[in-house]
Chains A and B, each alone.
Chain A
Amino acid sequence: DVKVTQSSRYLVKRTGEKVFLECVQDMDHENMFWYRQDPGLGLRLIYFSYDVKMKEKGDIPEGYSVSREKKERFSLILESASTNQTSMYLCASSRLAGDVYEQFFGPGTRLTVL
């Protein structure tokens, strides 16, 4: 079974703090993704990565950066947290198995910025 883990389920930070969200997958997947989930808006893609040390901006990259130093780990960084970054953050990795493309999700990190 594919497993995607995220370092924290709940996190509370103060405005201006630097925040690191970690994601690890154990299936040697090339692609990894960071989304944020907000009620009524669904999932919005922040950043994604096709390979180690490679990153691409998603739809809402402002205020975020990422790091992919190892294939299994994809980190999301909030350089200076703001209250509008309070959200649920979901990490995913993906594979193409035969004709089927599938994304696998972690349990999510609920971040509150005070």
Chain B
Amino acid sequence: GEDVEQSLFLSVREGDSSVINCTYTDSSSTYLYWYKQEPGAGLQLLTYIFSNMDMKQDQRLTVLLNKKDKHLSLRIADTQTGDSAIYFCAEKAGADYKLSFGAGTTVTVRA
């Protein structure tokens, strides 16, 4: 089955860049996602990348995909206190409608 792994915690200083890493095992992944969960809320889609892309940039967010190593990363430039949240990596494999999620990385932004 699918297995998505990410580190559990990241602490970053305000104004610095944050990099959240994720690895996955399913080579048939078609989409890879980053979701954000703020305290007490549901998950909100931040960005996604197709499996045939290497990089996607969206304002302060940069997603890098290394298909050979099955490694996905999310870089947040100029991290702000509002970026404190749990970030989930997820993959969609083939024609299946299910997503497989990682355990989530809790990002804490310190002043």
Contact = CB atoms under 8 A, between A and B. Distances in A.
A49 to B, nearest CB: 10
Contact of A40 (B1, B48, B101, B103): B103
Interface stretch (B12-20, B36-44, B54-62, B74-82): B36-44
| B interface, over-half SS | strand
A4 B42 contact: yes
Contact of A107 (B41, B48, B99, B102): B41
A99 interface: yes
Interface in A77-114: 90, 92, 94, 99-108
Given A102-B48, A105-B42, A105-B43, A42 B98 contact: no
Interface of A: 4, 31, 33, 35, 40-45, 48, 50, 58-59, 90, 92, 94, 99-108
Interface of B: 1, 4, 8, 30-31, 35, 40-45, 48, 50, 88, 92, 97-99, 101-104
